[in-house]
Structure 1
Amino acid sequence: MAAACALSLFTASFSLALLSIIIMLWILLYLFREDPLVLWGHSISDQWVLFYLVSISVLAVWVCGMVENLVIGFGVGCLVCGFHVIFRKLDGLYLEEDDAVCYGLVHCSGSSS
């Protein structure tokens, strides 16, 4: 789904550049930060950082007109997932308990009486 949405943004280079900047902000300010964020001597909580990052992301998507591109990408992603569900073969995905013991995937620790 994410790949389909990202591919839909290749038509607008400014939107793609802005999206990459926002992703860098998310990575730097939320994912890889271990210590509390301190600005001008004040500690900012993680809830406020999350609130501002979500607000900036939504505002950027709306202002740049990326909503239509993301909806199209999301729709294509849903179609790809739907086709995957329809055409996927489920044969051989599950093992019976006896087969698992025979292949050594499950170890019986107790003795049967």
Structure 2
Amino acid sequence: MTTSYGTIPTSLPPHGATSTNLEYISRAKDRIKAGLATRRPWKILFDFRSLKLPSSLSDAISRIRTNIAYFQLNYAIIVLFILFLSLLWEPISLIVFVALMAAWLFLYFLRDEPLVIVGRLIDDRIVLIVMSVLTIVLLLLTNATLNIVVAILIGVVVILVHAALRKTDNLFLDEEEAAGLIPGGAAVGATSSS
């Protein structure tokens, strides 16, 4: 006689619906992890020993370009966080912002198969353009225009100031990143002598 203490009887889901949902959730987790893997460690971003005034305008511009290429996901998170904080006192705008973030996740970031609408394949660039326009229009329609514009401007200023002050001599990009984002395709440490 066998016992089955502690087991919970289960039935098979109709047509594999649950297994499909679990696969989608698993793929979504993997894509989020892969996307966040490009984020640089925060302790490197906030290394105060690496802050120094640039020696010239061209040095500042070079630092800004290099730091934005290196810390792009960190900077995007900072701007989104500042925008989120600015919308805390505008509950309708905050709800719209959260709904739009969910739409971005499902329609753009977490999608691993091409988007097909009415039998037509939709290019990722079109999804990006439509979602960007939709985001801007819907947020501006929530009567929080001033909050949104000020938050984005504050985020841009914070990023530009940090990028101009942060030395780049200890940052190294991967070969693909360096070839596409930094002029000349060299490692960051070799392009700057701050």
Aligned pairs (5 A) from 1:12-31: 12-31=90-109
Normalised to the residue count of structure 2, the TM-score between the two structures is 0.39
- SS of the residue 2:87 aligns to: helix
Structure 2 residue runs of 5 or longer lacking an equivalent are 1-78, 171-194
Normalised to the residue count of structure 1, the TM-score between the two structures is 0.63
The answer on 1:3 being equivalent to 2:81 is: yes
Superposed CA RMSD in Å reads 2.7
Inter-CA distance 73–40: structure 2 relative to 1 (3 Å threshold): same
Aligned pairs (5 A) from 1:64-75: 64-75=142-153
Q: Give 4+ residue runs of structure 1 displaced > 4 Å after superposition.
A: 79-82
In structure 2, give the amino acid aligned to 1:62. L
Q: How many residues align structurally?
A: 89
Which of residues 115, 118, 124 in structure 2 aligns to 1:37?
115
The answer on 1:63 being equivalent to 2:141 is: yes
Q: Percent identity?
A: 24
Which of 1 and 2 has higher RCO (CA within 8 Å, sep 6+)? 1
- SS of the residue 2:112 aligns to: coil
Measure, in 1, the Cα distance between the counterparts of 2:125 and 2:117. 15
Structure 1 residue runs of 5 or longer lacking an equivalent are 95-113
Larger Rg, first or second structure (1 or 2): 1
